[in-house]
Amino acid sequence: MQIWIRRGAFILFLAGLFAAVHFLAPPQHVPWRPVSLERPIGWATGAQLDRLSRMPDYCRAALTEAGVKYAELEAEDTGEACSLHGAINLEQSVTPYNAAVRTTCPLAAALYVWERDVLHPAAERHLGHQVSRIETYGTFSCRRMYNRANAPWSEHATANAIDIAGFTLADGSRVTVKQDWRAESPEGEFLEEIFEGGCDVFRVGLGPDYNAAHADHFHFDMGGGFTCR
Ligand SMILES: [Zn+2]
């Protein structure tokens, strides 16, 4: 009898805890709450954005609600194991890019949140200027990881990854991963903050500390991995 009372009390405790988290915690801290790109980044932002990969219509509605402009990509033959199926062309996020950004919807959503909540505040704080352009090496690329013949397919092969090399600021100056990473300067602090902030939003963040292949860019993706280095 006693064990049933204890079990009942424990279940009531769990239910109470669940209700308290659900109703009292800010929604960006609660993994199962609906996704909104307008909220500040919280403990559950990464998990909420990750769910968008299974909810294509919901993901598009979240982009539209946030004012992100995009166009659906025409299906095209992308070759073995590569796909732009369900990808979009990101036409206007928070910041212009130096090249077309063909991307999965969850990556576009994560980019928007990162630009708004991490990139721009960090630029203002460390550099005193807005970022006027993000310089990217690209998103979609039909290749295996590190271009090795037997390696797994890269997240770039499905437009689920982006390589970011640097930034042009409103005063015309530039910050690049290649030159400014780990520099003891406002530019170095800016890069460190936006990389670490990216890891709260993207599934995977790889930079120059990860390996030599990333010496001149940050790789962010929304695949199944979970790395930040
Ligand atoms: Zn990459």
| Mean pLDDT per 10-residue interval, the chain, length 229 residues | 80 80 80 89 93 94 97 79 90 96 97 98 97 97 87 92 98 98 98 97 97 96 93
Provide the pLDDT for residue 1: 67
Provide the pLDDT for residue 77: 67
**Residue 17 alpha carbon to ligand 1 centre in Å:** 40
Backbone angles phi, psi at 203, to 5 degrees: -70, -45
Q: What is the pTM of this model?
A: 0.92
Give the Cα separation of 38 and 73 in Å (integer).
Answer: 25
**Residue 9 alpha carbon to ligand 1 centre in Å:** 50
**Residue 161 alpha carbon to ligand 1 centre in Å:** 6
Nearest to 139 by CA among 157, 122, 121, 123: 157
* SS3 category, 110: helix
155 neighbors 221 (Cβ within 8 angstroms): yes
Provide the pLDDT for residue 3: 78
Q: Which two tokens stand for residue 128?
A: 């005193």
Give the Cα separation of 85 and 109 in Å (integer).
Answer: 17
**Residue 93 alpha carbon to ligand 1 centre in Å:** 20
Provide the pLDDT for residue 91: 96
Provide the pLDDT for residue 95: 96
